[in-house]
Amino acid sequence: MAKMQYAELKQAYDRLIQENNYLRQELERLRTAAPGSSSLSTTDKIHLFRSLFRGREDVYAVRFTSSRTGRSGYVPALTRRGLKPPYDPENLRPLTDPVIYQHVLGRQTIGLYPLLLTEDTWLWAVDFDKGDWLQDALAYLNICRAWDVPASLERSRSGHGAHVRIFFDAPVPARLARRLGTQILTAAAHHVGHPRLDSYDRFFPNQDTMPQGGFGNLIALPLQGQAVPSGNTVFLQDDGTPYPNQ
C-alpha cells in the first residue's frame, strides 16, 4: 500500500516538473497583461485568467456584507434568493467570462470552489494569515522552487496574509495534492528551523472527498478590482512588493 501511495505521488510530482516551464510562462503573461500595456484583448485576458485559476464551473461563490451586522462572508451564487442546501443544480449560477470580468472590475468578489465533482483539483493553495505571514509564505514558496513545483505568491484581500498557489496542467486527485502540499509545508518549517509555520491557516481545497450536500471550501479569486489599487489580491515579488502591471 505504501509503495502504491509513493508511486502515485511520484507520478504527480514528475508531471509537475514537466509542466513547470509552461505554467511559469503563463503566469508571466498574466502578470504583464495589464490594460493599456498588452496586445491581449479583454477576452484573451479573461481566458488566460481562467486557464490558471480553475475549479468548478457549474457553481461559484459571491462575497457579501450584511447591512445589519456588517459581517462579511461568501454564499453560493443562486438563481433566486431564499434557497437552502442541498441545492438543486438548476439553481446554481455557473462561473462564466462575464462573472470573471465583473470580479476584475471590482463590481463583485468571486470565490472559486477548487474541489471538482471527481474529487480532483486543478490547483492547490495554502493560506498564511497574520503574524509572520510573508516570511512563512516565502519559506513555503522557496521549497516549491527547490522541488521544481510551479507556484506563485499572492497577498490576500485583507493585506495581512497571503496565498501560495500551486497550479496543475491537468486535474490531480485532491488527496495527492494534499500529500504534496503537506510535505512542502513540513519541509518549509524544517528549513527555517521551526516545528511548524505559525501563520499557516488552511489548505485549498481542504477536503480529499466531496462533502455530502456541499462544495468543499472556497478560495477567493485574485486580482479583484477594488482591492488591487491597495496592493491586495495581487501577486508579490520576494521583497513583498507587487509585480508591476497587474
Residue found by looking up cell 459571491 in the block: 62
Instruction: Write down the mean pLDDT value for the chain.
Output: 89
Write the pLDDT tens digit of every residue in 116-173: 999 999 999 999 998 999 999 999 999 999 999 999 999 999 999 999 999 999 999 9
197 vs 51: CA distance, rounded Å:
30
**Confidence at residue 23, expressed as pLDDT on a 0 to 100 scale:** 55
| Percent over 90 (pLDDT), the chain | 77
Can you read off the three cell numbers belonging to residue 106?
471590482
- pLDDT at 15 > cutoff 80: no
Closest among 155, 182, 154, 150 to 167, alpha carbons compared: 150
**Confidence at residue 82, expressed as pLDDT on a 0 to 100 scale:** 87
Query: Rg of the chain over CA atoms, in angstroms?
Result: 18
Can you read off the three cell numbers belonging to residue 96?
462564466
- pLDDT at 203 > cutoff 90: yes
- pLDDT at 17 > cutoff 50: yes
Q: What is the DSSP string of 185-210?
A: HHHHHHHTT-SS-TTEEEEES--SSP
Q: Which residue has the higher pLDDT, 119 or 23?
A: 119
**Confidence at residue 36, expressed as pLDDT on a 0 to 100 scale:** 47
- pLDDT at 39 > cutoff 50: yes
pLDDT tier for residue 69 given thresholds of 50, 70 and 90: very high
Q: Is residue 167 helix, strand or coil?
A: strand
- pLDDT at 197 > cutoff 80: yes
Q: What are phi and psi of 6, to 5 degrees?
A: -65, -45
Rounded alpha-carbon distances, angstroms, from residue 77 to 74, 95, 180, 225: 9, 9, 31, 19
Q: Domain 2-56+115-230, what fold?
A: DNA primase, PRIM domain (3.90.920)
- pLDDT at 34 > cutoff 60: no
pLDDT tier for residue 4 given thresholds of 50, 70 and 90: very low
Q: Which residues contact 139 (CB under 8 A, 6 or more apart)?
A: 188, 189, 191, 192, 197
What residues does each domain of the chain span? 2-56+115-230
- pLDDT at 33 > cutoff 60: no
- pLDDT at 30 > cutoff 60: no
Kindly report the pTM of this predicted structure. 0.84
